[in-house]
């Protein structure tokens, strides 16, 4: 292939990348356990539930339309209708500044590959959805982790960020609300991060997979980072707030030139979104308020159940409740590695809680509060049973000092 400066003609890189620990672990159990309380999404909607959001006369018309839809290739960058709907959720953003992707995971992948080169410095929130760090490392970047610490209640510390984002930094990658801690950046903090990036001539990639997942009684979500200016890029998805991960529809919201470059790379990966999925995503977006209300009903039932459970079992577990989104880290006092404990929970108690070690947090499990209230409550009961049985069988409790030292 001839050498070229045109980003659209650049060759796709062949990457050597480390295994995605959490995904590898989840796929082992997620289809088999009865009580999955590790999931990072809301209990998924069915196509029928989606259609039932429509008034009966409209429903019949839309159902016919879906049944008659020719399953050809769809518009490669996402249908104009879907891009228009997504664009309208950002300030001053046109449909050309949106690329519909195969989930937020593809959106992140394209952006990291297009905007970073080997040797570039990138500051990435840590712990993180592993993709952000692993892809940057595979590209050969100098990855500086911006750590969230349990002793600080998993708050983002902007002074730490200022010392990490040294001159020459090419990108700051954040995720708010945050997987796996439930931490959240305020509008003021986002403005500070954007100003810092602008002063360095760096990009800010804000993974907003958990957008629209405000929690009752917590601070409202900040407006998307994209609203702040041309160095701000957001990724989003139908997977989490809409409970539609099976659509595999996400997006990039970025300046048109960045969207073009990502699209050029995507030609080699997934080409275009599924046609039916794009249609269903439009339908879901048109009923976003109802779907988000469903999501919030589920979370509003599960959160107090979780709080009660943590209070009842405070000799062995504790947590910092999520400020936004649906995820948190559960600290446990049993002296057992998190992978071993998570495997036992799954194999012997049919419960899924994700091992904290997959995020670099030994002595923790990740919990998700998005499954049905029945599954969630039973999952917690099973977890307590497992912990109590392990204690009765002689597994010691570790000292609190040891747990924080190992983080
Ligand atoms: C922070 C974050 N970003 C991106 C993704 C990928 O989501 P999807 O590809 O389903 O949109 C996830 C999934 O768990 C996530 O937690």
pLDDT tens track for 48-94: 999 999 999 999 999 999 999 999 999 999 999 999 999 999 999 99
pLDDT in tens, 313-354: 999 999 999 999 999 999 999 999 999 999 999 999 999 999
Q: Is there a single domain that holds both residue 271 and residue 313?
A: no
CA-to-CA separations, 390 to 330, 333, 397, in angstroms, rounded: 17, 11, 10
Which pLDDT band, with edges at 50, 70 and 90, does 154 fall under? very high
Q: Is 235 in a helix, a strand, or coil?
A: strand
Helix (H) or strand (E) holding 299: helix 288-312
pLDDT in tens, 173-214: 999 999 999 999 999 999 999 999 999 999 999 999 999 999
CA 105 / ligand 1 centre spacing (Å): 6
**Residue 249 scores a pLDDT above 80:** yes
Domain extent for 176: 71-288
Which pLDDT band, with edges at 50, 70 and 90, does 97 fall under? very high
Which pLDDT band, with edges at 50, 70 and 90, does 6 fall under? low
Of 222, 294, 240, the closest CA to residue 41 belongs to: 240
Minimum mean pLDDT range among 102-106, 149-153, 380-384: 149-153
Single pTM value for the model = 0.94
Q: Is residue 253 part of a domain?
A: yes
Boundary-marking domain end, from 288, 310, 342: 288
pLDDT in tens, 109-148: 999 999 999 999 999 999 999 999 999 999 999 999 999 9
Ligand 1 and 208: CB distance under 6 A: no
Task: Report the chain's mean pLDDT, rounded to a whole number.
Answer: 94
Q: Is there a single domain that holds both residue 187 and residue 298?
A: no
Boundary-marking domain end, from 234, 253, 288: 288
Number of H helices, E strands in the chain: 14, 13
CA 351/CA 381 separation, integer angstroms: 10
- Output the pLDDT for position 152: 93
**Cβ-contact 354, 20 below 8 angstroms:** no
User: CB within 8 A of 2, min separation 6: which ones?
Assistant: none
Ligand 1 and 251: CB distance under 6 A: no
**Which of ligand 1's atoms lies nearest the C-alpha of 238?**
11
Which pLDDT band, with edges at 50, 70 and 90, does 30 fall under? confident
Q: φ and ψ at 395, to 5 degrees?
A: -70, 120
Boundary-marking domain end, from 228, 261, 288: 288
Q: Is there a single domain that holds both residue 11 and residue 150?
A: no
Other beta carbons within 10 Å of 293: 10
CA 194/CA 204 separation, integer angstroms: 7
Q: At what angle do helices 56-68 and 275-286 cross, to 10 degrees?
A: 160
Which pLDDT band, with edges at 50, 70 and 90, does 16 fall under? confident
Ligand 1 and 179: CB distance under 6 A: yes
- Output the pLDDT for position 178: 98
Q: Is there a single domain that holds both residue 97 and residue 174?
A: yes
Print the SS3 string covering 85-148.
HHHCCCCCCCHHHEEEECHHHHHHHHHHHHHCCCCCEEEEEECCCHHHHHHHHHHCCEEEEEEC
Planar angle of CA 68, 72, 78, nearest 5 degrees: 105
Q: Is residue 165 part of a domain?
A: yes
- Here the CATH number for the domain that contains residue 26 is 3.90.1150.10
Other beta carbons within 10 Å of 271: 11
Which pLDDT band, with edges at 50, 70 and 90, does 14 fall under? low
**Residue 8 scores a pLDDT above 80:** no
Ligand 1 and 104: CB distance under 6 A: yes
Q: Is there a single domain that holds both residue 351 and residue 276?
A: no
Which pLDDT band, with edges at 50, 70 and 90, does 2 fall under? very low
Q: Which of 25, 107, 205, 237 to mutate to test the pocket of ligand 1 (most atoms within 8 A of CB)?
A: 237
Q: Is there a single domain that holds both residue 192 and residue 87?
A: yes
pLDDT in tens, 353-367: 999 999 999 999 999
Ligand 1 and 129: CB distance under 6 A: yes
Q: Is there a single domain that holds both residue 238 and residue 272?
A: yes
Strand duo 351-352 + 35-36: pairing: parallel
* Domains identified in the chain, total number: 2
Q: Is there a single domain that holds both residue 248 and residue 144?
A: yes
Hunting for tokens 């008659």 — which residue is that? Answer: 68
Residues above pLDDT 90, as percent of the chain: 92
pLDDT in tens, 282-323: 999 999 999 999 999 999 999 999 999 999 999 999 999 999
Ligand 1 and 181: CB distance under 6 A: no
**Which of ligand 1's atoms lies nearest the C-alpha of 178?**
1
Ligand 1 and 87: CB distance under 6 A: no
Q: Is there a single domain that holds both residue 102 and residue 92?
A: yes
- Here the CATH number for the domain that contains residue 239 is 3.40.640.10
């Amino acid at each position: 292939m001839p050498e070229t400066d045109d980003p659209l003609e650049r060759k796709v890189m062949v990457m050597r990348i480390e295994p995605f620990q959490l995904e590898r672990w989840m796929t082992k159990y997620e289809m088999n356990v009865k009580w999955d309380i590790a999931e990072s999404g809301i209990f998924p909607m069915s196509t029928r539930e989606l259609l039932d959001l429509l008034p009966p006369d409209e429903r019949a018309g839309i159902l016919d339309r879906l049944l008659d839809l020719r399953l050809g290739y769809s518009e490669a960058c996402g249908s104009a209708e879907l891009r228009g709907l997504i664009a309208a959720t950002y300030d001053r953003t046109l449909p050309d500044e949106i690329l519909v992707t195969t989930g937020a995971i593809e959106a992140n992948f394209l952006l990291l590959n297009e905007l970073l080169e080997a040797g570039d410095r990138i500051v990435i929130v840590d712990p993180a959805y592993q993709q952000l760090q692993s892809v940057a490392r595979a590209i050969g970047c100098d990855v500086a982790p911006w750590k969230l610490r349990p002793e600080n209640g998993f708050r983002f510390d902007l002074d730490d960020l200022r010392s990490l984002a040294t001159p020459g930094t090419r990108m700051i990658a954040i995720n708010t609300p945050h997987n796996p801690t439930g931490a959240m950046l305020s509008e003021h903090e986002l403005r500070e991060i954007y100003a810092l990036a602008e002063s360095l001539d760096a990009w800010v990639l804000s993974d907003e997979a958990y957008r629209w997942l405000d929690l009752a009684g917590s601070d409202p979500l900040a407006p998307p980072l994209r609203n702040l200016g041309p160095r701000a890029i957001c990724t989003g998805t139908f997977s989490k707030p809409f409970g539609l991960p099976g659509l595999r529809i996400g997006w990039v919201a970025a300046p048109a030139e960045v969207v073009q470059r990502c699209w050029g790379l995507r030609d080699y990966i997934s080409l275009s979104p599924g046609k039916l999925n794009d249609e269903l995503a439009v339908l879901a977006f048109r009923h976003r308020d109802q779907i988000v209300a469903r999501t919030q009903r589920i979370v509003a039932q599960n959160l107090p159940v979780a709080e009660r459970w943590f209070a009842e079992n405070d000799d062995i577990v504790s947590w910092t409740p999520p400020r936004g989104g649906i995820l948190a880290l559960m600290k446990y006092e049993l002296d057992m590695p998190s992978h071993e404990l998570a495997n036992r929970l799954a194999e012997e108690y049919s419960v899924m809680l994700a091992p904290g070690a997959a995020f670099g947090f030994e002595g923790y499990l990740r919990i998700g509060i998005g499954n049905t209230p029945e599954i969630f409550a039973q999952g917690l009961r099973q977890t307590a049973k497992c912990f109590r049985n392990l204690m009765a069988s002689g597994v010691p409790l570790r000292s609190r000092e040891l747990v924080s030292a190992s983080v």
